[in-house]
Chain A
């Protein structure tokens, strides 16, 4: 079945850039997503990218997609303490289809 992998933990200093990486196995993935989970809150969609794109920028967020290597990354510029959370990448074959999530990367931002 489809598999999505992420590293478990990332620690950065406030003001630095954070890069969270994700790999996936499903070559039929059409949409790739980044979700954010803050303590006590539900997952929130941060951004998504179509598989025919290789980059998408949204304010401090930059998503890079290497479809050949099935590698997705999320770069957060000027990381703030409020960015501390768990970040999940996910993929789906269509816009309304089920999501397959990675295990989540816990981002810790030190002041």
Chain B
């Protein structure tokens, strides 16, 4: 199956610093990538949808200036958490979709990045 990687898998940073998380589709080209945030014992919350070469579409309540998304190529999307604060500590997951092919709703998920802001 299609593989999506994320880097880093864990990051600890000081409050006020910025953190970049990379999401890569390893063996396919992803026309669309999604970024989710997973809270403990709660569902994945979609943060934004990004299509290669265009601006990301953010969900309501997600600050686009705080969570910068760049989908520079068909295999790479990055999420930068700017001026991170402890409340940004969470598990961030990306997923990728291959155009209109594949099973309906099939997104290939990365393993996630655990962000801890001190």
Contact = CB atoms under 8 A, between A and B. Distances in A.
B34 to A, nearest CB: 7
Interface residues of B, number: 24
A42 B95 contact: yes
A87 to B, nearest CB: 12
A42 B43 contact: no
Given A101-B43, A102-B43, A42 B110 contact: yes
Interface residues of A, number: 25
Most buried by B among A35, A88, A96: A96
B105 A45 contact: yes
Interface of B: 1, 4, 32, 34, 41-44, 46, 49, 93, 95, 97, 100, 103-112
Interface of A: 4, 8, 31, 33, 35, 40-45, 48, 50, 88, 90, 92, 95-96, 98-104
